[in-house]
Amino acid sequence: MKKYNYNSGPAILPETVLEQAAQAVIDFNGLGLSILEIGHRTEWFINVLEEASSLVKELLQLDDSFEVLFLQGGATTQFMQVPMNLLGESDTASYCDNGIWGSKAIKEAKLFGNVHIACSSKDRGHAYIPRELTVPQHSKYLHFTSNNTVEGSQWHFIPEANVPLVADMSSDIFSRELPFDKFSLIYAGAQKNAGAAGVTIVIVKKDILGKIGRAIPSILDYRNHIEAKSLLNTPPVFSIYVSMLTMRWIKQEGGLTEMERRAQQRSNILYETLDTLNVFEGKVDKQDRSLMNATFTAKTPELEKLFLEECNANGMVGVKGHRTVGGLRVSMYNAMPVSTVEVFCDLLKTFDRKHS
Ligand SMILES: Cc1ncc(COP(=O)(O)O)c(C=O)c1O
C-alpha cells in the first residue's frame, strides 16, 4: 500500500515525475541507454542541463544577470562556499539566526570573516521571525533561511537591508512567488520541492563575485562552475534530470502562482484544524507559521508517542519532529495532494476526541 508521505526531505515527489524518472533509468528518451549510463558531456545530457537551467530562470523570473549552477555537497556545503567566495578575512557579513540551519551557516561563515548577528529568535526557541534587524552598511551580504524546516517558521516578507541578500531556500524554493531578482545569491538542496537528493541549485548574480583576495580551491569557486556551465567535473546527472522533470511539472501545473495557492490551501486546512484541538498545540507564532513544515506538540510525551503509533498504523510516515527539537512535524511540499492533508487532519481530530 502506498504510504501518506509527510517527510521533511527527501520528500514527496509528483507521481508523474517518479514514473518518468523510473522509465529513464531503463531507457532514456528511447536511446537504448539508461540515464545512468550516458556521458555528462553528451548532447543528450547538455540538453537536460540547459532545460533545467532555463526552467529555474523562467519559474523565478530571472534575467541573464543571474547564473544557475547545479552543484554537489548539499546546502551544507553552501554554508561554507558562500562565505569562502563572498567574505574577505577582514570583512563582515550579517546573518539572521532563526533556526538550526541558519546557526550552522553562521558557524561556517565565522571561519572566513566576521559575522554580525542581524537578528535572533533564540530567546523563544526560534518560535517566531524577528521584525527588527540591524545590518551594518559595510556588511558584504545579509544571509537568512527563508523557511526553517526544523522549527516550522517562514519569512513571509523579505528582510529590509541595503546590502546584497543571500538566502538558503532549501525548503521553500518553487513554492511561492517572491521578487527573486532582489537576491544576489539563492541556494537550495533539491530534495524537497526541487527533485531528488544529490544536487544543490545555486543561483548567483555574477556581479557579486570576484571581490575578495582569498585563493579559492577550484572546485569551490563559483566562477569556475559558471565558466564550465556546471560541468567542471562529473555532475549528479540523474538528480539534475529529476530536478528538470520536477520543474517541468511545476510549470505545467501553473507555475509558482499555483504552487503558492496550493500551499496556502494545504496549510490553512492543517492550521485551522490544529487550532481547534485540545491535545495538540502549534509551536510557532501564527503569523510566522511555515506553509511547508507545520510543527506542533501533543500535551504529553506519552500522547505524542501514541499518536505516532497511530500514524504508523494508518500508513502515515515522517510525522516525528526533527531529532534536535522533538515534537511532531508535518511537511507539505508542492507535490502533496490536499487529500493527504485532509486524511491527516481526520486522524488528528479522532485522536483529539479520544484523548481530550
Ligand atoms: C533549510 C535547510 N538548509 C540546509 C539543509 C541541509 O541540506 P543538505 O542536507 O542538503 O546539506 C536543510 C536540510 O534539511 C534545510 O532544510
Residue range 331-348: average pLDDT? 98
Q: Whose C-alpha lies nearest to ligand 1, atom 2? A: 170
Task: Read off the DSSP letter of residue 213.
Answer: -
The label of the residue with cell 490553512 reads 268
Counting Cα atoms < 13 Å in the Cβ hemisphere of 351 gives 24
Catalytic residue among 97, 101, 155, 283: 101
Which atom of ligand 1 has the smallest separation from the CA of 189?
A: 10
Q: Name the CATH topology of 15-253.
A: Aspartate Aminotransferase; domain 2 (3.40.640)
**Strand extents, DSSP E, the chain:** 4-5, 66-71, 92-97, 114-120, 142-145, 147-148, 153-154, 165-168, 183-189, 200-205, 280-282, 293-298, 316-317, 328-331
Residue 127 alpha carbon to ligand 1 centre in Å: 19
Mutation test residue for ligand 1: of 70, 108, 144, 149, the one with most atoms within 8 Å of CB: 149
Q: Work out the percent of the chain whose per-residue pLDDT is above 70.
A: 100
* Catalytic position from the list 97, 140, 155, 168: 168
Checking if the pLDDT of 18 tops 90, the result is yes
Q: Which of 155, 172, 192, 205 is catalytic?
A: 192
What is the mean predicted confidence (pLDDT) over 240-264? 98
239, 40 Cβ separation under 8 angstroms: no
Contact 66, 53 (CB under 8 A): no
Place 160 in a pLDDT band, splitting at 50, 70 and 90: confident
Here the cell at position 126 is 526560534
Q: Calculate the alpha carbon distances from 184 to 64, 81, 209, 221 in Å.
A: 13, 14, 10, 16
Residue 27 CB partners (closer than 8 Å, separation 6+): 33, 34
Q: Which three cell numbers stand for residue 42?
A: 553528451
User: Among 123, 127, 132, 121, which Cα is nearest to 153's?
Assistant: 127
Mean per-residue pLDDT for 228-246?
A: 97
Atom of ligand 1 nearest to the CA of 73: 11
Which CATH topology does 255-355 take?
A: Aspartate Aminotransferase, domain 1 (3.90.1150)
| Cα–Cα distance, 300 to 239 (Å, whole number) | 41
Best residue for ligand 1 mutational test, from 71, 77, 101 (most atoms within 8 Å of Cβ): 101
pLDDT 10s digits, 88-120: 999 999 999 999 999 999 999 999 999 999 999
Closest ligand 1 atom number to CA of residue 146: 1
Q: Please give the pLDDT value at position 302.
A: 96
Cα 40 to ligand 1 centroid, rounded to whole Å: 26
> Residues with Cβ < 8 Å from 284, sequence gap 6 or more?
127, 128, 151, 152, 153, 290, 295
Q: Ligand 1 pocket test: pick from 7, 76, 154, 192 the residue with the most ligand atoms within 8 Å of its Cβ.
A: 76
27 counts as catalytic: no
Ligand 1: distance of its center to the CA of 224 in Å?
24
- Residue 333, all three cell numbers: 511540499
CA pseudo-torsion sign 299, 319, 176, 191: positive
Mean pLDDT (the chain, rounded): 97
In this prediction the pTM is: 0.98
Report the nearest atom of ligand 1 relative to the CA of 145.
1
- Residue pair 3/313 in contact by the 8 Å Cβ criterion: no
**181 labelled catalytic:** no
Mutational pocket test of ligand 1: of 171, 172, 175, the residue with most ligand atoms within 8 Å of the beta carbon:
171
Q: Which residues line ligand 1 (CB under 6 A)?
A: 9, 74-76, 101, 145, 149, 168, 170-171, 189
CA 62-132-98 angle, to 5 degrees, is: 70
Per-domain boundaries in the chain: 15-253, 255-355
Query: Which residue has its alpha carbon closest to ligand 1 atom 10?
Result: 74
User: Is residue 101 annotated as part of the catalytic site, yes or no?
Assistant: yes
Measured from the CA of 147, which atom of ligand 1 is nearest? 1
Among candidates 180, 179, 201, which has minimal Cα distance to 190?
201
State the distance from the centre of ligand 1 to the C-alpha of 279, rounded, in angstroms: 30
Helix intervals (H) in 68-138:
74-86, 100-109
Asked if pLDDT for residue 1 goes beyond 90, the answer is no
pLDDT digits (tens, 9 = 90+) for 62-97: 999 999 999 999 999 999 999 999 999 999 999 999
Q: How far is the CA of 96 from the centre of ligand 1 (A)?
A: 16
Ligand 1 center from residue 170 Cα (angstroms): 6
